[in-house]
C-alpha cells in the first residue's frame, strides 16, 4: 500500500514537471514557427529583414498533429483537463487569446450536439443577420463581415444554434446572399434584419431588403439595435453559462476565408468579445451581434 502511494506521488510529480516542460516547449515552438514564417517571407520576396513588418500565421491545433495522438493517445485528454488560456492555446490552437481576454462567454458553457433535433421539436426558428459592406484594402485590411446565426427554440425552452455564416460582400450582394441561404433554410425560418438608427445610409439599404424577401414568400422583419452591444449580448451569455444553449457541431461556414463545417472561428470571436471596439481580425463582433439578436427575438416570441 505504501509503495503504491509512493508510486502515485512519483507519477504526480512526473506529470507536474512534464506539464511545465510542455508549456515551455509549446511557447518556444510558437516563437520558432513565427520566426520561420518571417524567414520564409524574406527568402521568397528577397526583402530586407528590417522591411518585413508582418507575416501570416497559419494556425493549427492538437488534432492536426496525428503523430502525437499515435505516440500518446491520452495527450488530448490531458489537454482537455487544462483550464483558461493554456487550454485554448494547446488544445484549440488559439494563440491570439491572452490572460486579459473577455470572460463574458466560454465555449465550455455550451452543449455541443452531433445533430439538431427534428423540426417538430422547435416552436420557432430564426436567422439573424448583421451587415457590412467593405472588402479588405490596404487602409482597411480586416473589415467587418456580413454574418448570420440560425437559432431555434424548443418546446422545453432550450435554444439551439443550427448554423453560423460569415462573408465579406458589398451592399449590392446582400439580397442575393440572404435569399441563397434562406432558400436552404426553408420558409419556416424567420429572417431578422437589424435596424441601426445610427447609420442612415445602411439603414436605407436594409429597408430595401424587406420588400423583396416578403414578396418571395419569406417572413422577414426588422429588429431594433439601439442597445449597446455589451448589453445586447449579456442575456445570451447568461443563457450559455446556465446550460440553455445547444450548438450543432461543425455548423459554421466562413465563405470569405473558405473555411467550412467548423465552429472554431465564431467560438474565438465570442470568447474575445469585451464590448470594446478592437482593430484587426481578432476584434470582430459580427457573429456576437447575430447571437444577441436571434436570442432576443426567440426569447420575446416564447413569451407571446
pLDDT per position as a tens digit, 107-138: 999 999 999 999 999 999 999 999 999 999 99
pLDDT per position as a tens digit, 152-161: 999 999 999 9
pLDDT of residue 95: 65
The CA angle 33-39-45, to the nearest 5 degrees, is 135
Check residue 159 and report its DSSP letter: E
Q: Count of residues for the chain?
A: 304
pLDDT of residue 242: 93
Identify the segments of the chain with pLDDT beneath 50: 1-2, 4-5, 100-101, 201
Neighbouring-strand partners of residue 259: 254
Third-level CATH fold of 107-303: Nucleotidyltransferase; domain 5 (3.30.420)
Cα separation, 103 vs 237, whole angstroms? 10
pLDDT of residue 2: 47
Domain locations in the chain as residue ranges? 2-90, 107-303
State if pTM tops 0.85.
Answer: no
Q: In this structure, what C-alpha cell is assigned to residue 14?
A: 512526473
Cα separation, 40 vs 43, whole angstroms? 5
Q: In this structure, what C-alpha cell is assigned to residue 267?
A: 467560438
Which residue from 35, 200, 41, 222 is spatially nearest to 126, judged by alpha carbons? 222
CB within 8 Å of 291: residues ≥ 6 apart: 128, 149, 151, 161, 233, 236, 270
Q: In this structure, what C-alpha cell is assigned to residue 132?
A: 457590412
- The position carrying cell 518585413 is 52
CB within 8 Å of 221: residues ≥ 6 apart: 190, 191, 192, 193, 210
CA distances from 236 to 144, 240, 270, 288 (A): 21, 6, 11, 9
Q: How far is CA 119 from the centre of its chain?
A: 25
Sign of CA dihedral 233, 283, 272, 168: positive
- Evaluate whether 213 touches 179 at the Cβ level (below 8 Å): yes
- Evaluate whether 195 touches 205 at the Cβ level (below 8 Å): no
- Pairing status of strand 259-260 against strand 252-254: antiparallel
Amino acid at each position: 500500500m505504501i509503495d503504491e502511494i509512493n508510486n502515485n506521488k512519483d507519477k504526480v510529480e512526473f506529470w507536474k514537471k512534464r506539464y511545465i516542460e510542455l508549456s515551455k516547449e509549446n511557447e518556444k515552438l510558437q516563437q520558432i514557427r513565427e520566426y520561420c514564417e518571417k524567414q520564409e517571407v524574406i527568402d521568397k520576396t528577397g526583402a530586407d529583414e528590417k522591411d518585413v513588418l508582418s507575416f501570416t500565421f497559419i494556425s493549427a491545433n492538437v488534432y492536426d498533429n496525428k503523430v502525437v495522438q499515435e505516440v500518446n493517445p491520452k495527450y488530448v485528454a490531458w489537454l482537455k483537463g487544462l483550464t483558461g488560456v493554456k487550454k485554448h492555446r494547446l488544445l484549440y490552437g488559439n494563440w491570439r487569446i491572452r490572460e486579459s481576454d473577455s470572460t463574458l462567454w466560454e465555449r465550455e458553457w455550451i452543449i455541443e450536439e452531433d445533430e439538431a433535433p427534428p423540426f417538430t421539436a422547435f416552436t420557432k426558428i430564426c436567422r439573424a443577420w448583421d451587415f457590412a459592406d467593405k472588402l479588405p484594402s490596404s487602409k482597411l485590411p480586416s473589415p467587418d463581415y456580413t454574418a448570420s446565426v440560425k437559432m431555434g427554440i424548443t418546446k422545453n425552452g432550450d435554444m439551439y444554434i443550427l448554423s453560423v455564416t460569415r462573408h465579406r460582400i458589398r451592399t449590392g450582394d446582400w439580397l442575393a446572399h440572404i435569399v441563397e441561404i434562406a432558400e436552404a433554410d426553408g420558409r419556416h425560418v424567420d429572417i431578422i434584419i437589424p435596424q441601426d438608427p445610427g447609420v442612415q445610409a445602411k439603414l436605407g439599404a436594409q429597408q430595401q431588403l424587406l420588400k423583396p424577401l416578403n414578396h418571395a414568400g419569406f417572413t422577414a422583419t426588422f429588429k431594433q439595435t439601439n442597445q449597446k452591444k455589451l448589453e445586447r449580448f449579456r442575456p445570451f451569455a447568461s443563457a450559455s453559462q446556465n446550460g440553455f444553449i445547444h450548438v450543432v457541431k461543425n455548423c459554421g461556414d466562413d465563405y470569405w476565408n473558405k473555411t467550412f463545417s467548423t465552429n472554431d472561428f465564431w467560438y474565438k470571436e465570442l470568447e474575445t468579445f469585451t464590448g470594446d471596439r478592437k482593430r484587426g481580425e481578432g476584434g470582430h463582433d459580427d457573429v456576437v451581434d447575430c447571437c444577441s439578436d436571434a436570442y432576443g427575438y426567440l426569447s420575446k416570441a416564447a413569451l407571446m
